[in-house]
């Protein structure tokens, strides 16, 4: 299994990051082995009837990286590129993210290899329901709590909640987070990841002595995270000058109205054809001058080919794993880019998911203001801890963030000991 996982380039990247940080922390071989490898890797087949009447089998995964610190927590992804190794990498990153933020969860991630853009609502519902049914023995508010990730949303969470609750015989809101507010979802969860990204990006601008009212930003990905990051940065006074999605990219140095672009995407299905900006090659967009660059889509988009050409001052990693190991090495040699690493930058989502889970367990509902105030406090604290730790130990921000998360997990592993 180790060799199989390491053949996947995304898992390889997560493993390299782990090994580098474990070396810095001088982890013993015992703890290192127990921290590095996932506890459970589940693969299920999901047969559904397509609208055409044909039966098609999809494959779905859930990787539970670690259960020592609490239930597993992490999103569910629907995307054509989903592979077990990628899901295992995302689960490992979730693990360090939860620990860095001080959340009582282990990391997990799920995925189904499918193209949700080509599926009808009914097909998506059937696939989600069958995936959830297959996962029933392994999920629950005390074992594994899923949430939206790429290609999934609050409707998908509502179907999952329905399957789990129907099986239990009563409503179990704490089995998923990121669900609709009227199904005991949390105020603020939909915008949380993007809000957190924008909040930290402006803190990073301040560190770089750039006033955010004068700053510009470019965003790759205009889904849940990209849209809310753009909208929140715009509210903070940042000018959004470029946005891309799976259909293409648009650029306007004078600024793009985020809500107007959102309306265009809702109508046409993508950013392409938005007349208030010029179209641009999506790869070129990444290397246009800007103050904040926000990759908010896929893994491995900042590579050895473009890392040396980036013209941003802050790289805010909203996506999970957007920067390859080779690109990291290039960025570390550049002292002109302030990097906010993924497990810190996009932690707003899982932090509000934690709030949602707590509200569900207590049968309580907090206001949006309460949620966002608590979120900002936790994001600011984590940001300051990472930057201070990096400065004290002369570490890149990524290694500092990972070290704080991995150290937490390693301590718990040591304290709990090894079952003979």
Ligand X SMILES: O=C(O)CCC(=O)C(=O)O
Ligand Y SMILES: NC(=O)C1=CN([C@@H]2O[C@H](COP(=O)(O)OP(=O)(O)OC[C@H]3O[C@@H](n4cnc5c(N)ncnc54)[C@H](O)[C@@H]3O)[C@@H](O)[C@H]2O)C=CC1
- For the annotated catalytic residues, the residue numbers are 109
Q: Does 323 bind ligand Y (CB under 6 A)?
A: no
CB of 54 to ligand Y, least distance (A): 26
CA distance linking residue 189 with residue 169, whole number of Å:
27
Q: Which residues are annotated as a binding site for NAD(+)?
A: 193, 224
Q: Which residues are annotated as a binding site for substrate?
A: 73, 97, 353
Task: Identify the residue among 244, 288, 323, 324 touching ligand Y (CB under 6 A).
Answer: 244
Task: Identify the residue among 22, 147, 215, 241 touching ligand X (CB under 6 A).
Answer: 147
Q: 3-state SS of the chain: helix, strand, coil percent to 5?
A: 50, 20, 30
CA distance linking residue 413 with residue 416, whole number of Å:
5
Residue span 223-242 as binding mask against ligand Y, x where in contact by CB under 6 A, dash where not: xxxx----------------
- Which residue, 41 or 318, is less far from ligand X as judged by CB? 318
Candidate ranges 10-18, 52-60, 312-320, 377-385; the one touching ligand Y (CB under 6 A): 312-320
- Which residue, 25 or 245, is less far from ligand Y as judged by CB? 245
Q: How far is CA 106 from CA 95, 208, 338, in A?
A: 5, 34, 28
Binding residues among 102-131 for ligand X as defined by CB under 6 A: none
Which residue reads 């959102």 in tokens? 262
Is residue 321 within 8 Å of residue 298, measured between CB atoms? no
Task: Identify the residue among 74, 85, 148, 242 touching ligand Y (CB under 6 A).
Answer: 148
CB of 333 to ligand X, least distance (A): 28
Kind of pairing, strands 248-251 and 239-245? antiparallel
Residue span 361-380 as binding mask against ligand Y, x where in contact by CB under 6 A, dash where not: --------------------
Residues 6+ apart with CB under 8 A from 344: 97, 100, 200, 382, 383, 386, 397, 401
* Residue 74 interacts with which of ligand X, ligand Y, none, CB < 5 to 8 Å by class: ligand X
Which residue reads 């005991």 in tokens? 184
Q: Does 296 bind ligand Y (CB under 6 A)?
A: yes
Candidate ranges 68-76, 126-134, 278-286, 295-303; the one touching ligand X (CB under 6 A): 68-76
Size of interface with ligand Y, in residues (CB under 6 A): 25
- Which residue, 8 or 320, is less far from ligand X as judged by CB? 320
279 in helix, strand or coil? strand
134 burial type by CB count under 10 A (0-12 exposed, 13-18 middle, 19+ buried): middle
Which residue reads 């508010």 in tokens? 141
Is residue 339 within 8 Å of residue 397, measured between CB atoms? yes
Is residue 29 within 8 Å of residue 55, measured between CB atoms? no
* Residue 150 interacts with which of ligand X, ligand Y, none, CB < 5 to 8 Å by class: ligand Y
CA distance linking residue 401 with residue 317, whole number of Å:
13
| Helix boundaries (H) for 101-188 | 121-135, 154-168
CB of 391 to ligand Y, least distance (A): 26
CB of 326 to ligand X, least distance (A): 23
- Contacts with ligand X by CB under 6 A lie at 73-75, 94, 97, 147, 149, 177-178, 320, 346, 349-350, 353
- Contacts with ligand Y by CB under 6 A lie at 75, 148-151, 193, 220-226, 244-246, 282, 296-298, 318-320, 346, 349
């Amino acid at each position: 299994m180790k060799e199989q996982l390491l053949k996947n380039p995304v898992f390889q990247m997560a493993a390299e990051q782990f090994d580098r940080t474990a070396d810095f922390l001088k982890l013993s071989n015992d703890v290192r082995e127990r921290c590095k490898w996932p506890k459970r890797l589940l693969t299920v087949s999901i047969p559904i009837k397509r609208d055409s009447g044909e039966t098609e089998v999809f494959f779905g995964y859930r990787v539970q990286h670690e259960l020592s610190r609490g239930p597993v927590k992490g999103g569910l992804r629907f995307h054509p590129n989903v592979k077990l190794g990628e899901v295992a990498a995302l689960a490992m990153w979730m693990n360090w993210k939860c620990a860095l933020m001080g959340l009582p969860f282990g990391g997990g991630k799920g995925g189904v290899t499918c193209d949700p853009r080509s599926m009808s609502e009914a097909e998506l519902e059937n696939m989600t329901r069958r995936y959830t049914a297959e996962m029933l023995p392994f999920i629950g508010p005390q074992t594994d709590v899923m949430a939206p990730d790429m290609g999934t949303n609050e409707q998908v969470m509502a179907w999952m909640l329905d399957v789990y609750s129907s099986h239990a015989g009563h409503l179990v809101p704490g089995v998923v987070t990121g669900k609709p507010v009227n199904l005991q979802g949390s105020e603020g969860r939909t915008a949380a990841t993007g809000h957190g990204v924008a909040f930290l990006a402006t803190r990073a601008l301040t560190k770089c002595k750039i006033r955010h009212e004068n700053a510009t930003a470019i965003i790759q990905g205009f889904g849940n995270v990209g849209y809310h990051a753009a909208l929140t940065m715009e509210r903070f006074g940042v000018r959004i000058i470029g946005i891309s999605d799976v259909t293409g990219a648009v650029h306007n140095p004078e600024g793009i109205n985020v809500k107007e672009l959102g309306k265009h995407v809702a109508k046409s299905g993508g950013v392409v054809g938005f007349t208030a900006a010029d179209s641009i090659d999506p790869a070129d967009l990444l290397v246009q001058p800007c103050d904040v660059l926000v990759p908010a889509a896929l893994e491995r988009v900042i590579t050895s080919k473009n890392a040396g050409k980036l013209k941003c001052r802050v790289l805010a990693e909203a996506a999970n794993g957007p920067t390859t190991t080779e690109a990291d090495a290039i960025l570390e040699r550049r002292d002109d880019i302030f990097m906010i690493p993924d497990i810190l930058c996009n932690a707003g989502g899982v932090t509000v998911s934690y709030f949602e889970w707590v509200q569900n367990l207590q049968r309580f509902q907090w206001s949006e203001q309460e949620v966002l105030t608590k979120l900002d406090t936790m994001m600011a604290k984590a940001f300051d801890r990472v930057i201070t730790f990096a400065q004290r130990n002369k570490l890149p921000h990524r290694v500092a963030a990972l070290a704080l998360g991995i150290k937490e997990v390693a301590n718990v592993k040591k304290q709990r000991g090894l079952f003979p």
